Amino acid sequence: MGLKIYLDGKLVEKADAVVSVFDHGLLYGDGVFEGIRSYDGLVFKLSEHLDRLYESSHTLRLVVPLKKEALQNAVIETLKANGLKDAYIRLVVTRGVGDLGLDPRKCAKATIFIITDKITLYPREYYEKGLTLATVPTVRNHPEALNPQLKTLNYLNNILAKIEATNAGVDEAILLNSQGYVTECTGENIFTVKGKTLCTPPAYVGILRGITRQSVMDIAGSMGYKVIEEPFTRHELYIAEEVFLTGTAAEIVPIAKIDNRVIGEGRPGPVTKKFMDEFHKLTSKEGVRYTL
């Protein structure tokens, strides 16, 4: 059985899952998306992901053709059609087909497609040894230009940073904002650990409010850690006892080295490992359950 894709209300074969070259999602990156995970028949934090999708689309004045419940059902339907209990879900809403101009009013109806498949963002050894990071020249989009809190199809800022990380021979890039404060990596939020305190950049410096980020903050609070959101520079990264990243695809991944500075002991620390364990427990509890 080939991979089935949800496209505008129908499940179609992968080869038939096509959008028009006049779709403004393709022409201009005009659209929104979510990356979601399912674990053993439970779509983790599905409601929270859908809320963020509708919030992003509202700011873009992009009308999602389906109500939240119907879109949730479409996600489940696509997973079932592909017989997947453990999957990565890519939910995309584009502005739809228009003309070659920018005007979104020329797009009569949004396009929706859902891909459910497997994903391995980092090899298992990275979780056992830690990633290497580098700060890169590309500056994070200014929130008043293209707000990183919107999860849009325009990811060139992230892609340029990823290219620079590759050129530098490291696993991932850290983007600073125009004031020199740490924001996030190309697809993950970032945390520092010092004693019983976790610190992560606040949304206003230019980050996406990650679903996994919030899960880790909740876990940390329940375990007696102090969690603060405040701006910090690379110096605070270098002197942290531990640094880790969070993201839907990455989950929680430890950091061994940043800008050629060894972080802590240069390997996954005990706090990071603790959060990794607790997060994996959470993925079997919070979300929408389905059966094949």
Residue 178 tokens read as: 């125009």
**What does the alpha-carbon distance between residue 152 and residue 98 come to, in Å, rounded to a whole number?**
18
Sign of the alpha-carbon torsion through 201, 204, 205, 209 = positive
Continuous segment of H or E residues that includes residue 269: none
3-state secondary structure of 115: strand
Residue 174 tokens read as: 């850290």
CB 37 within 8 Å of CB 89: yes
Residue 177 tokens read as: 């904002």
Q: Give ∠ CA 229-233-236 in degrees, rounded to 5.
A: 80
Residues carrying an active site annotation: 151
Name the residue with tokens 């650990």. Answer: 193
Nearest to 49 by CA among 33, 61, 64, 63: 33
